[in-house]
Amino acid sequence: MSKQKAIATPSQTKHYLGKYGFSFKKSLGQNFIIDVNVLKNIIQAAAVTDATGVIEIGPGMGALTEQLAQHAKRVVAFEIDQRLAPVLADTLSDYDNVSIIYQDILKADVQEIVQREFNREQPIKIVANLPYYVTTPIIMKLLMAKLPIESITVMIQKEVADRMAATPNNKSYGSLSIAVQYYTEARVALNVPKTVFMPQPNVDSAVLHLDFRQTPPVQVQDEEFFFELVQACFAQRRKTLRNNLFNFFKTSLSKMEIEQKLTEALIDGTRRAESLTIAEFAQLAHTFQPSYLP
């Protein structure tokens, strides 16, 4: 069923660009992969099998979609650019296990689409070459949507991948690391040179793999407050925890009350946020939990 020539080569990409008079839209962050080996490495990192249902975001000309279709049971791809409809109809014409949904993933009812497009027992994974300008909003939407999916494997900007997978006492570690790792176990699967894209981006790329946790690694009373507190602690990275907390609670707690709560949480206020583990942030949230919250 597979084509003799893969889409993900410079010559095939140029062929389809010319055939359909397609021009890249910088505003949509369109960078198409032109290296089949990279695509195969992504699919291997995602552990896609012939039983897997896959959600793809931003298929472009179908380079990754084609490879996924050859390995997965079913592929459902979200594409925001309607101009690609005739291109994808052509490049994916050999595959009857692919559906393209022309919607913005950020606006789509993904839960409803998952229920409609996949079998309930089917293992579902997200695999994508994400547009870099909306990487974080897309990943956070997928993490918080409570979808019946096992993992997310995405090509993203290397700097963002490093931040999402970072551990304490690392300059990349921040509130984004905590948010992602609250829901998943994160690792950078491979680094990817900019030469495998057309057009070439200005930044290096990496494949991030996120395995969903059955339960979060810490228990918090109020997730919204927990994430707000974490962000506040990282508000000014060079400042101590004490100073960032003074600023965050300035209208509700005195400096003395904040000192007392830091003592109660057994956390030294002279530390910086990047030195705290997710468990220590949970302890801070528990101690500072406003009394008006349940």
Can you say which residues are annotated as belonging to the binding site? 31, 33, 58, 79, 104, 129
DSSP lists the bridge partners of residue 84 as: none
Residue with tokens 């900007």: 157
* Cβ proximity of 207 and 153 under 8 Å: yes
2: which 2 tokens? 């597979």
Detail the residues annotated as belonging to a binding site for S-adenosyl-L-methionine.
31, 33, 58, 79, 104, 129
Residue with tokens 């990943």: 139
Three-state DSSP class for 157? Answer: strand
* Cβ proximity of 77 and 119 under 8 Å: no
Whats the size of the chain, residue-wise? 294
Cα separation, 94 vs 5, whole angstroms: 12
Burial group, residue 190, by CB count within 10 angstroms (0-12, 13-18, 19+): middle
State the DSSP string of 173-228.
-SHHHHHHHHHEEEEEEEEE-GGGEESPPSS-EEEEEEEEPSS-SS--S-HHHHHH
100: which 2 tokens? 């393209």
Distances (CA, A) of 143 to 64, 151, 254: 22, 10, 35
DSSP lists the bridge partners of residue 185 as: 211
* Cβ proximity of 98 and 71 under 8 Å: no
